[in-house]
A and B are shown apart, each in its own frame.
Chain A
Amino acid sequence: MTRRVLVALLGALLLTVIGVGYGAFAMRREHRPVAAETEELSLAGSSPRILFRSTAADSRGHLAQVAKDRPDGPRSVSSLTCLRVYAAGGTGTCLRQDGALSTFQIAILDKNLAVRKAIPLVGVPNRTRVSADGRLVAWTVFVAGDSYNHGRFSTRAGLIDLGSEDMIDSLEFLSVTLDDHPYRAADLNFWGITFTADDDHFYATMSTAGHRYLVQGDIAAKTVRTIARNVECPSLSPDGKRIAFKSAIDGEPPKGWRLSVLELATGVRTPLAETRSVDDQPSWLDEDTIGYAVPRGSSDSDVWSVPANGTGSPRLLIPHAESPAALN
């Protein structure tokens, strides 16, 4: 008996040393000094820039900017850290951790990157968008079940009108029309909202019964209706006529995702020149160019760009970066 206890104690000691030792190593690795901020960032100003989240070793997680015509040039780094970022019309969004595990918030930023409002989110945030005039803000979180939940997961997408403070907690509470028929189901999931210029409508992904749809939503009427199949993470072009999106290859997510552009008037889909699997909500850098992140290892990624008309080839735009948003 005493020998067993001794072996157990020794084993516990050894395992503690391994666990704590690795933890200390990880802690030292994560606490790298951050490069000094070069200047105060601002969302205002007229020079074309790209805002992004840095994944470089010396500034991981920090909001940063580069000049659009010199994307590999010097980057300005803010002291603000986020998990996902976006900005338009003088409003920025920063999805970030809020203290404890699995509590997150969306911090809404003014043009000087000061936090003007924070909304708690539960679930892991993974998409955010701002309407062109900066009035509407959207987010998507991902809620995974615990062990009692038999591994079920869901995504919830919400939005807020900063003018009226009206908020839609989750699109699943809107009335749904699927293929022109009213529809309800327990497994409705929404993600990846993008706004129209009139601030009355949006596009998003809806999934139910194993299918993923492009839906168009009406904010005032609180309705969504499906308009196309196999379209995920839509992103409306600045002219409002095209939607860049990712779609599962052959409609099967295990095969990966391809980037395409859908012309709303004709329904024509043009696959883009990027042939790698891209799992990101694409971002319009201008009327002709799409930006998106491609992961590099486990906590690093690069922003690439590709022409929006299916020609050309992908180009590495900003190394060690993700969540690109074009500002002008």
Chain B
Amino acid sequence: MAPPLSHDEFFSSLTTLLSKTTEQAHGSVYLTQKPMPSSESTSSPSILIRASDGNTNAPNPKSANQTGKIAKNRSSKVKFSTVVKPEDLEAFYTRYAEICKTGMSGLKKRDRKRKTKAKGGASKATKA
């Protein structure tokens, strides 16, 4: 496992990973958060955040006889991580949320039509 990145490096890597996935309209991004395993006091542990694209570097067992060819075509796994100290959590997560919002543009956007309709209905109701 590669050593954890700094927050800035983590966010820039995450931005490229998300935009790449959205561009291709294919694939996944996995983000995992859990307390950093440590022997020290557990009242407020650091949070370990991992990101990966869900690929695997292990050879495909089905094509064991021609692994060389398959492995060449498949891009290797992307994974990186960062550690957030308890005092940095709030600042980290505001940036994190912002990056997720902008990066995950493959999701459904807000439905503007319905909102305007509702507004029209409300104004009518107040008039009447």
A and B held together in a complex? no
**Chain A interfacial positions (CB closer than 8 Å to B):** none
**Chain B interfacial positions (CB closer than 8 Å to A):** none
